[in-house]
Amino acid sequence: MLTRLDTSARDFEEQLEELRKKLSPDGTVVSERSAQLTMSLFGEAISPQQVVERICREVRIQGTQAVLKYARALDDPRMDASRLRVPSERMVEAHKAVAPEFLQAVRAIRNNIARFQQAILHKDVELTDGLGQVLKQRYRPLERIGICVPGGAAAYPSTVLMTAIPAQIAGVKQIAIMAPPTPFGAYNPEVLATCYELGIQEVYAVGGAQGIASLAYGIPEIPAVDMIVGPGNLFVALAKRLVYGTVAIDSIAGPSEVVVIADRTTKPPNAASDLIAQAEHSPGSSIVLSSDSKMLDQIDEQIQLQLTRLERAELAKDSLIKFGASILCDSEQEVVRICDRLAPEHLQISVDDPDRYSSQIRNAGAIFKGHYSPVALGDYAAGPSHVLPTGGTARWASGLSANHFLRSYSEVEFTLDGLRAIEPHVTQLADKEGLTAHRQSVKIRLD
């Protein structure tokens, strides 16, 4: 099922690089439906980047007219301006209609996320030398943010929880949810009920690049935001990259991915289920690393067995074939090296002693340790956000947290004595740089 790679092969490095490129946010992985819509809308097979540039430019210039044009063509032919915002009555009805057990789960998960995010929230800092110098670092929440919630092939109330709650813990007051006008998106009862439960009042039935552009540039029906967060397909990721600078963004996310580390203590059914779970995102990348070839064989057998029992088996199977790999390493050190090179979004260390690996690994969006910590816990309930760096960007990027919704600034306050003490140092640098007005702005206060 999984493509087998061997680190001892002469061309392994080339194979690994090709595999890594598939996970890159610069890739061109789109669903078959998206490719067909592109051809239908533009009459030619233009690249995803060109699609996004056209849509965002039209929304920036034409506003609502362009948003409706693409909403009708891509999602709902009946869309008009009055239907862009989901009525509050519909959210109330959804909240009443969903199962009580679902709302109980939402409340429990909200508490888990809030507890974790509150614990890691940045605090103001004050530093003084006692000689007339006071330095402060202040943190203030953003005023207004937009959250992208996918809704093409499945509903994602978990995305609302994992993005909105960190923002609320940071102190953000205005949160706008953007989801496509589909039964899985802005019209999904569980998504709407989750928004209502969290006190979110703005839900807009717009998806794709036109939704990102609406949030970034603003239209009469959708006020512009300061930051856009949340996952989406390639078109959403490229649109976020395009509007960055007009607004802040969390990341440019590519296909979801997992790397599983296995050894002789791994339980093959567990490892196989983690690989399949990531693949059912479709596209989703699933890679297993081990220095035990028999274990890799057993995991592959389990994948084939479990696929016969799953509802989304065909989607998962397609992703496993296209984006999956089973990598045989010649040592544990090689396992660590390749894992760091891949820098996966999710790292599942499915062994008896996970610290043996985690203590050496630098690059991963989130690490799940041992036999009883499946990635699904992070996706749904644990507490850290499931919005994580993909495509190898975990080498330098971090997962979304409440701190992303804070902007920081410094405060500098000196007394006369403090200014007198530091003046010689300022004068030295100002003279070397030829910025004499800088020097004079200090000296004039002393003279």
Q: By three-state DSSP, how is residue 47 classified? A: coil
Q: Quick one: tokens of 339?
A: 């894992």
Alpha-carbon distance of 423 to 304, in angstroms, equals 72
Residue 222 DSSP code: B
The CA distances from residue 105 to 100, 108, 145, 201, 273, in Å, are 9, 5, 25, 21, 23
* Rounded CA separation 235/34 (Å): 9
Say how many CA atoms lie within 13 Å of 329 toward its Cβ.
20
Beta partners for 258?
286, 346
- The strand pairing partners of 337, in sequence order, are none
d(CA 214, CA 197): 25
Q: Choose, from 190, 257, 280, 346, the residue flagged as catalytic.
A: 346
The single-letter code of the amino acid at 330 is D
Q: What does the alpha-carbon distance between residue 20 and residue 218 come to, in Å, rounded to a whole number? A: 36
In the set 197, 202, 257, 345, the catalytic residue is: 345
Return d(Cα 403, Cα 177) in angstroms, integer.
19
To the query of whether residue 345 is one of the catalytic residues in this protein, the response is: yes
**346: annotated active-site residue:** yes
Report the catalytic residues.
345-346
